[in-house]
């Protein structure tokens, strides 16, 4: 049985993959050294949903790579046997990159959670393990009222990374804010550690931002943030 979106256009644009040949072409040429990926770049206007952002058909295992200039939610309708499994609640942070592994025919829809147009890049490639670590520059804050974003990505997760470990030399406040309306979702005060001691590894959301402040006003708190893919 053909999937319910079989009559919708499937976008095949030419995107050459690097020397490790991570992409795939059509079913007749998957072993070719010149494999190409299924890819599409689209603009999703603020507050709207692209119901047919991209579709894939006739490929077994795949990895979806999502990039966006604004925070978005993407849903995956994945065909399995004679049923369709809806996988919802996947997010990509502002200027971030995330991946999702799947199998079989699939249709991807994208919702822009902001009021600013989002440029979204969607790529289906051959599954491969992604191992990334991003270490931010040291940052400081001497205010216990004004919070600063953690890291160089405006408090968002860096590309491919969803685990965060923070080192601090003085007690700090740490909070998570909604990436769209900036409301405070979680806050912890008086987080104390030994000098440059670890606060532990946090699993961070792709739709929220992380911020910090000094616990004591006019006392400089210096932090360093390390993000990773696996959280080690």
Q: Do 173 and 145 touch, CB atoms closer than 8 A?
A: no
Which domains occur in the chain, in start order?
1-127 (2.60.120.380), 133-228 (2.60.120)
Cα–Cα dist 147/11, whole Å: 43
The answer to whether the beta carbons of residues 143 and 99 sit under 8 Å apart is no
Task: Express each pLDDT in 167-202 by its tens digit.
Answer: 899 999 999 999 999 999 999 999 886 544 556 788
Query: Poorest-confidence range of 141-145, 150-154, 201-205, 210-214?
Result: 201-205
Give the tens place of pLDDT for each residue, 107-132.
999 999 999 999 999 999 989 888 88
pLDDT greater than 80 at residue 7: no
Q: What is the largest CA-CA distance in the chain?
A: 67
Sign of CA pseudo-dihedral 228, 73, 184, 180? positive
């Amino acid at each position: 049985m053909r999937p319910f979106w079989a009559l919708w256009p499937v976008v095949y644009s030419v995107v050459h993959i690097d020397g490790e040949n991570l992409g795939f072409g059509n079913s007749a040429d998957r072993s070719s050294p010149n494999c190409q990926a299924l890819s599409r770049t689209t603009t999703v206007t603020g507050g709207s949903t692209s119901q047919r952002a991209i579709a894939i058909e006739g490929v077994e295992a795949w990895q979806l790579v999502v990039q966006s200039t604004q925070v978005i939610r993407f849903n995956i309708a994945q065909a399995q046997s004679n049923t369709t499994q809806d996988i919802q609640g996947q997010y990509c942070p502002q200027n971030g990159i995330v991946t999702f592994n799947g199998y079989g025919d699939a249709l991807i829809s994208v919702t822009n959670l902001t009021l600013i147009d989002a440029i979204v890049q969607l790529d289906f490639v051959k599954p491969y393990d992604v191992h990334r670590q991003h270490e931010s520059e040291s940052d400081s804050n001497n205010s216990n009222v004004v919070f600063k974003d953690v890291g160089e990505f405006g408090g968002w997760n860096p590309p491919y990374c969803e685990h965060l470990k923070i080192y601090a030399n003085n007690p700090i406040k740490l909070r998570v804010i909604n990436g769209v309306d900036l409301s405070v979702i979680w806050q912890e005060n008086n987080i104390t550690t030994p000098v440059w001691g670890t606060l532990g590894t946090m699993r961070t959301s792709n739709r929220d931002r992380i911020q910090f402040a000094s616990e004591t006003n006019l006392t400089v708190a210096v932090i360093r943030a390390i993000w990773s893919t696996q959280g080690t």
